[in-house]
Structure 1
Amino acid sequence: MISLQWQDGVLSLLDQAAYPQQEHWITCSTVEETAQALSSGAILEEKIAAVAGVYGYCLAAMAHQELQQTPQFQEKLDQAKALLLASRPGSRELAAALDFMEHPPEAYTKNVDQLTTLLATAVTYDRQQVIADRNICRNGTDLMGEGTRLLLRTDRGAFHSASPCGALGIARRGWKRDVLEQVTLCEGRPSLAAGTLLAQELSKENVPCTLIPDHAAATFLARQGAHLVLADGILAAKNGDLKAPVGTYELAIACYFHSVPFYAVLHADDIDLTAENGSVFGQEEGDPAAVTEGLDCGQAQGWTPAYDVVPAFLITGMITDRGIACAPYEETLEEQVKHAPRKMIVHFDA
């Protein structure tokens, strides 16, 4: 299920919070409608929010195209950027995407039509994300041999991105290449909601799949075993510490104890060389109501972290769109960031 479409100047976004109970699409024809969609809670994945943001930026340009080549045009774009950023406070991905829009590839700047330049830049950003996802899948599959049994810690499916991505994308590619034997999905939510969706996706492709709760992962590794464990990450520090969804830390510990290779999966753009180590990510706490909601706990209070920080020594390697980085991470992660691939140019005809 693809969750974002851009056609004829209209942005359509799948309400991911409502899916699969209902397939509801949010149509955006203005930057204001885009910002509303991004702030509504309907878009769960930050990378989808970033792609939506660049098209929302274009919608603002389209609404004021008569002001092109005037200072007022840039003022309208600045207002649109501020509105979009306010819809997703603290989103690193959205901020980077809008910065990309403000610095288009040099080949586009020769176009006197500012709107055409912005549209081409947005399409370029969108396609680069798709290419990066495919490269991650290719690099991850290179770790797999015939008969590989995978355990995945992920909540990203095809409906979370413009293409199969992350740990699940690696598993799907491995199945198509006949090197995958079995997938086990590790889910943290009590309802197993995300895992259920991912299991449905794998079942459609006849991939043998088992769904387990987070707290059963260590016992599963002890009894059933796995050749590789893949977990989607959020952000990597310079030393290899990993910011990741809650539950990833304990899974990494279980892998370390049972000598099972543990690989993080993320984009190279999610490597932050300004963060010396994981302490920079802080110790933000999650919503206590997420623990106690719907339960009669008396006077007890809930507690949950907002995310995990996994120490680098627990991580066998990091699979990115630019290769696989292993320790010493200070060297290998820096190499991936500094040796970025040449920016793709989209030949765009207005």
Structure 2
Amino acid sequence: MYTIDWIDGAVVLVDQTRLPAEEVYLRLETVDALVEAIQRLRVRGAPAIGVAGALGVALAAKQFERAEERAQAVQTLALARPTAVNLARGVHRVAALLPSFDAVLAEALRVRDEEIASSKGMARLGADLVERLCGPNPTLLTHCNTGGLATVVDGTALAVVFELHRRGALGGVVASETRPLLQGARLTTWELRNRGIPHRLAVDSAGPFLMARGQVDAVILGADRICANGDVVNKIGSYAHALGARAAGIPFICVAPESTVDLGTASGADVEIEDRGSEEVAGTTAPAGTEAINPAFDVTPAELVTAVVTDKRTFSGRADGPSL
């Protein structure tokens, strides 16, 4: 099954909060239920929530008869999480075809299918680049989760890992656990294990040290938004890995579909960074009442990014600049 799909009049998705202990699929028939799933990270990853937003408009077209109700549902979907560009982009692309349910659903399924196709393009281009930059059998450090759970199938950065493994050209993977919700520990290791790929888990703060010791040959991760100047907005902790990679002299590679490239945003300074509140960080470990600062994402400046790989091209520097 796909990570997220439209089946018999509803959005069906794997509940990522239940992994790795249980593989549970949710059937969501209302916009409110889908918004809750997006905000609670039952579905997450920029491409996946872009598809979720697109399919959510189909739910709105099915659920509401009045134009005002549909418009409110579209706005709620688009704003469910503010940082990743794919969500609002998917919602507004499909909402342009309202009120026709058939047209909306057909376009939403096109969004899904485009993400499936883009995973294959990223896998091929990214694997070619890693082989060129790193030579045979590199060990790659990943951050957060960038596999099929973050897209529809295969993934972004993990799709590259899967392709290198298929080619017999991968040494292994170090998966950083990813604070505070442990997407790397819970989800990436689950996907790597299912594919039979050698891997080890590391705490986030160990990444730069492992790079300095020569235990990592490149960093490869995804993005929630790639700005016009080449800044990469991704899961919190990415910037630290980029600094570590620069100090160690190893490649820092971002892999994301063209749908994540946002030429309308000049730089990372213009992106609203979601703060998920204190409970996720301080909830069960700190004294009661402790306040936390909990940005879900950070910004890696373009000058620290060796290359960005999309499903169509590989570039360094400005997102509207020449391909490598």
Deviation at 1:325, TM superposition (A): 0.6
After TM superposition, the structure 1 stretch with the greater mean CA deviation from structure 2, 52-61 or 307-316, is 52-61
Deviation at 1:246, TM superposition (A): 1.4
Deviation at 1:77, TM superposition (A): 4.1
Per the alignment, residue 248 of structure 1 pairs with 238
Amino acid at match of 1:120: A
In 2, are the aligned partners of 1:237 and 1:271 still within 8 Å (CA)?
A: yes
Question: Is 1:82–2:75 an aligned residue pair?
Answer: yes
| Residue 124 (structure 2) aligned to one of 113, 121, 138 | 138
Question: Is 1:318–2:308 an aligned residue pair?
Answer: yes
Q: Secondary structure at the match of 2:129?
A: coil
Label 1:181 to 1:96 Cα distance change in 2 as closer, same or farther (>3 A).
same
Label 1:28 to 1:153 Cα distance change in 2 as closer, same or farther (>3 A).
closer
Deviation at 1:88, TM superposition (A): 4.6
Per the alignment, residue 54 of structure 1 pairs with 54
Per the alignment, residue 299 of structure 2 pairs with 309
Task: List per-residue Cα deviations over 1:201-225 (Å, max 9, x = no partner).
Answer: 2122221112111211122122233
Q: Secondary structure at the match of 1:334?
A: coil
In 1, are the aligned partners of 2:83 and 2:273 still within 8 Å (CA)?
A: no
In 2, are the aligned partners of 1:155 and 1:198 still within 8 Å (CA)?
A: yes
In 1, are the aligned partners of 2:85 and 2:262 still within 8 Å (CA)?
A: no
Label 1:89 to 1:166 Cα distance change in 2 as closer, same or farther (>3 A).
closer
Structure having the higher Rg = 1
Question: Is 1:94–2:80 an aligned residue pair?
Answer: no
Per the alignment, residue 4 of structure 1 pairs with 4
Amino acid at match of 2:130: M
In 1, are the aligned partners of 2:233 and 2:300 still within 8 Å (CA)?
A: yes
In the alignment, structure 1 segments of 5+ residues that lack a partner are: 338-350
Q: Secondary structure at the match of 2:171?
A: strand
Distance 2:89 2:281 in 1: 33
Label 1:124 to 1:218 Cα distance change in 2 as closer, same or farther (>3 A).
same
Distance 2:129 2:273 in 1: 33
Deviation at 1:248, TM superposition (A): 1.1
Deviation at 1:171, TM superposition (A): 0.4
Q: Secondary structure at the match of 1:180?
A: coil
Label 1:287 to 1:195 Cα distance change in 2 as closer, same or farther (>3 A).
same
Q: Which has the higher contact order (CA 8 A, sep 6+)?
A: 2
Deviation at 1:295, TM superposition (A): 2.5
In the alignment, structure 2 segments of 5+ residues that lack a partner are: none
Amino acid at match of 1:42: R
In 2, are the aligned partners of 1:17 and 1:44 still within 8 Å (CA)?
A: no
Deviation at 1:75, TM superposition (A): 5.4
| Residue 217 (structure 1) aligned to one of 201, 207, 215 | 207
Label 1:54 to 1:226 Cα distance change in 2 as closer, same or farther (>3 A).
same
Question: Is 1:118–2:104 an aligned residue pair?
Answer: yes
Deviation at 1:46, TM superposition (A): 4.1
| Residue 295 (structure 1) aligned to one of 285, 302, 305 | 285
Q: Secondary structure at the match of 1:137?
A: helix
Deviation at 1:308, TM superposition (A): 1.7
| Residue 229 (structure 1) aligned to one of 215, 219, 223 | 219
Q: Secondary structure at the match of 2:229?
A: coil
Distance 2:105 2:277 in 1: 39
Distance 2:37 2:186 in 1: 25
Deviation at 1:3, TM superposition (A): 2.4
Deviation at 1:128, TM superposition (A): 0.6
Amino acid at match of 1:160: A
Amino acid at match of 1:14: V
Label 1:89 to 1:271 Cα distance change in 2 as closer, same or farther (>3 A).
closer
Question: Is 1:169–2:155 an aligned residue pair?
Answer: no
In 2, are the aligned partners of 1:192 and 1:213 still within 8 Å (CA)?
A: no
Deviation at 1:175, TM superposition (A): 0.2
Deviation at 1:191, TM superposition (A): 7.8
Label 1:36 to 1:131 Cα distance change in 2 as closer, same or farther (>3 A).
same
Percent identity between matched residues is 25
Deviation at 1:335, TM superposition (A): 4.6
Q: Secondary structure at the match of 1:156?
A: coil
- Report the TM-score, using the length of structure 2 for normalisation: 0.84
Q: Secondary structure at the match of 1:142?
A: helix
After TM superposition, the structure 1 stretch with the greater mean CA deviation from structure 2, 128-137 or 15-24, is 15-24
Q: Secondary structure at the match of 1:230?
A: strand
Distance 1:299 1:82 in 2: 33
